[in-house]
Amino acid sequence: MSNQLQQLQHRLLEWANGASKLGWLSTDAIDGLKQLSTATPGDLFNAENRPLVAALFGGTGVGKSTILNRLAQDDIARASAARPTSTNITVYVHSSVAVDHLPAEFPMQRMHTAIHQNKRYQSVMWLDMPDFDSVEASHRDLVTQWLPHIDLLVYVVSPERYKDDQGWRLLLEHGAKHAWVFVINHWDKGDKRQRDDFSNLLSNAGFDQPHIFCTDSSGNANVDEFAELETTIDSLADAQLVSQLEKRGVVKRVEQLASQASSMQSQLGTSEQLQLCLRNWQHMWSIASPELVAASDYKAQLLAEQVIEPDTSLLSYLPWRKTVRTIEPTPSSVPTALADDLFFSHVDGSLDSFMQQSSASALPYTALQRHFAPLKNQWRESLPKIVNKALAQSLALPGERWQRALHRLLGWLATLLPLAALAWVTYRVVLIFQTSGSNPDNYLGANFATHSAMLVGVAWFIPWFLRLRTKPSRQAATLRGLRQGLQHSVDQIDIDCQQAIDGMATERDQLASQLSDVVANQGSFDDTELPASLKRMLMNSA
């Protein structure tokens, strides 16, 4: 059954590593997942009908070794006043039981095995655990290594030490994965109020009418419930119950892995947080972008002033006047003059502030940085091109539409009106020539020549002059193009950031969906199917 745990852990690790590479998950979460054990008691044996693995667990001096010796009716644990602290694992196992698969990481030099022929415990493998409250950290490590391989924990306390903090923390952390019975040893020194208080503590921890046995090795049979303890454990050493405990332990470990998965999913944030992130960006940029445009407008004006308008005065057409050509800003001057380092420092500062704010709202900063940081370099290449495109379009179509239409109309008039005047003069000349023979008064004189010349000249000059004066300003077109390019740039920044947030939302939803698929349909265990006596040994994880 541990294969299910191993496969689940493997799939979760694959998911977690992928999420970590994308910046959504910290390496601490992966380390925590790796530390969760997938071992089960059944992993120690090849045989299906394995023994019950029961361990005596408790603090220093409570009498665990003494109880094991009473069970074995032999001094296998070497309990004595000279050795009040258990430092090694003592294994008491029947000779017919083969422990085939001890984990390689177990310190074998700290394991003492006692082989016996006692048929009563042929179906139980007993362990005497080191004292968990020892100052030696290796003792607690040894207990932690063995815990996943244990079905039943016999928690031994004394009347003076049943509220031990370290043992209680371990009970609360691992309680749901094992069956438990409780022994108050040295009961000749205790009283009923201590037993009732201990029972209340266990009930508050999640045990319903827990099995509590009071034992005394001094020989006072009136206060000794050791026989009841043996009988209870004997009843549990049934192949079917052992199989159910194994299955339940697997389910509880699956639930622990699922809980770890839920903790990892919380690091992804929520869809609502990403929607809030989008609204925060829109609000922040609606304030920052006008300020950025206003701060850059003076540079656009300076660039526009570099454009020299052609001289449209009449004197400029004198042959000895030098023609001045229009000078326009070159595309290469735009990045340094408009989208310069100061411009991008403002943009980068706004983006960094937004990422910090979003990270404070529980979104992972590394994921934000992966989606937004590349935009900084991208903008340094794309925004000058946007400005240059807007500038070229504005220079190609200077002025307003009505100005360009009037300018074109006057150009046509400057051509058509003189031609019309010449046509009229030609018509008059032909007409006078035809009628001059019959009418001596019809002749071409100086006045006609003067008036005709003036008519043709006025027909050409007026539309030509008006066209000259209505020509759209190149400076104005340059300024307009730069301003439009600047506005298009800040709009593009807005679009890119909103698309990055949308990309994060899509990626987050995909990761959440993949994680849900990993932990889905992992099975459950119904404690109500167990015997009443066994239910009393199980902590209610709810």
pLDDT in tens, 504-528: 999 999 999 999 999 887 777 777 7
Over pLDDT 90: what percentage of the chain? 26
Q: What is the pLDDT of residue 153?
A: 92
Round to whole Å and give the CA distance between 391 and 385.
10
For 117-239, strand residue ranges (E) read 124-128, 152-157, 179-184, 212-214
The rounded mean pLDDT for the chain is 83
Find the radius of gyration of the CA atoms of the chain.
47
What 3 state SS string does 385-407 have? HHHHHHHHHHHHCCCCHHHHHHH
Q: What is the pLDDT of residue 439?
A: 64
Q: What is the pLDDT of residue 464?
A: 82
For residue range 113-129, list pLDDT tens digits in order. Answer: 888 888 888 899 999 88
Measure Cα distances from 485 to 290, 302, 477 in Å. 14, 15, 12
Within 10 A of 469 (CB to CB), how many other CB atoms are there?
10
Instruction: Show the domains of the chain with their CATH numbers.
Output: 39-236 (3.40.50.300), 271-518 (no CATH)
Residue 128 in contact with residue 86, Cβ under 8 Å? yes
Comparing 128-132, 436-440, 482-486, 492-496, the range with the smallest average pLDDT is 436-440
* Of the ranges 354-358, 422-426, 429-433, the best mean pLDDT one: 354-358
Amino acid at 230: E
Q: What is the pLDDT of residue 86?
A: 56
Q: What is the DSSP letter of 539?
A: B
For residue range 374-417, list pLDDT tens digits in order. Answer: 999 999 989 988 988 888 888 887 777 777 788 788 888 888 88
Contacts of 465 (CB under 8 A, 6+ apart): none
Q: What values do phi and psi take at 14, rounded to 5?
A: -60, -45
Q: What is the pLDDT of residue 36?
A: 82
**DSSP H or E segment with residue 54:** strand 52-58
Contacts of 255 (CB under 8 A, 6+ apart): 176, 541
Q: What is the pLDDT of residue 284?
A: 94
The mean per-residue pLDDT over the stretch 167-172 comes to 80
* Of the ranges 81-85, 122-126, 235-239, 473-477, the best mean pLDDT one: 122-126
For 108-190, strand residue ranges (E) read 111-116, 124-128, 152-157, 179-184
Residue 348: pLDDT band (50, 70, 90) is: very high
Over pLDDT 70: what percentage of the chain? 87
Round to whole Å and give the CA distance between 134 and 59.
8
Query: Rounded to two decimals, what is the model's pTM?
Result: 0.73
pLDDT surpasses 50 at 273: yes
Q: Select the more confidently predicted residue: 533 or 87.
A: 533
For residue range 45-90, list pLDDT tens digits in order. Answer: 887 788 999 999 888 888 888 888 888 887 776 544 444 445 678 8
